[in-house]
Amino acid sequence: MSSGSSSNLEDLYLQSYSFTTTAAIIGSVDRKVFVLLRDGRSVIGVLRTFDQFANLVIHDGVERIYLDGSRYGESTEPQIFLIRGENVVMMGELDIDKEDEPLEKLTRIDYGAAFGEWKKAQTEIVERHTIEDKQLRSKGHLTSFLTDEFY
């Protein structure tokens, strides 16, 4: 009872300030979140802490890879992830009552297989851009997809 009212007070306190930029995610601390990384993979877990660079610490985190053909792979062992902010595309809170609903429409495959498939797709992108970059450079265009856009 007392803990409930104190957390309400905390919420009121947080709501009375309009945090912008990175500080806006303070409301998601200790909640289950979904983090999409720049490499296309995602991490699902409890957000424990963050800093001004959006470096995130995800507790009990699992990695999930969504693939074509309504398939996904998920790592089995929950771990702590310290994600460097640069690599984060987006982060959002999950409703733990509804988070599994969309997954019911997908088929789960082995994480190793999903990782392999994802890796293969990534390698293809790298190869394609290496060729493109080389040709563009020969025409006088300086591109830096591999160093700037792609991790």
Partner 1 sequence: MLPLYLLTSVKTQPILVELKSGETVNGLLENCDSWMNLTLNDAVTVDLHGKRFEKVPEVYVRGNQIKYVRMSNDIIDKFKEQNRGQNRQRPMQKRQQRNGRDRDPRERRNGNQRIK
Q: Find out whether 78 and 61 touch, Cβ atoms under 8 Å.
A: yes
**Smallest distance, Å, CB 70 to partner 1?**
25
Q: Is 22 in the site for partner 1 (CB under 8 A)?
A: no
Q: Is 111 in the site for partner 1 (CB under 8 A)?
A: no
Q: Is 81 in the site for partner 1 (CB under 8 A)?
A: yes
- For the sheet with 42-50, list strands across it: 88-93, 32-37, 42-50, 56-67, 71-74, 107-109
Q: Distance between alpha carbon 35 and the CA centroid of its chain, in Å? A: 2
Indicate the residue among 10 and 60 with the shorter CB distance to partner 1: 60
**Smallest distance, Å, CB 115 to partner 1?**
8
Indicate the residue among 106 and 131 with the shorter CB distance to partner 1: 131
Q: What are the two backbone dihedrals, phi and then psi, of residue 103, each rounded to the nearest 5 degrees?
A: -70, -25
Q: How many CB atoms lie within 10 A of CB 50?
A: 21
Q: Which chain residues interact with partner 1 by CB under 8 A?
A: 37, 39, 43, 48-51, 55-57, 59-60, 77-84, 86-87, 119, 122-123, 151
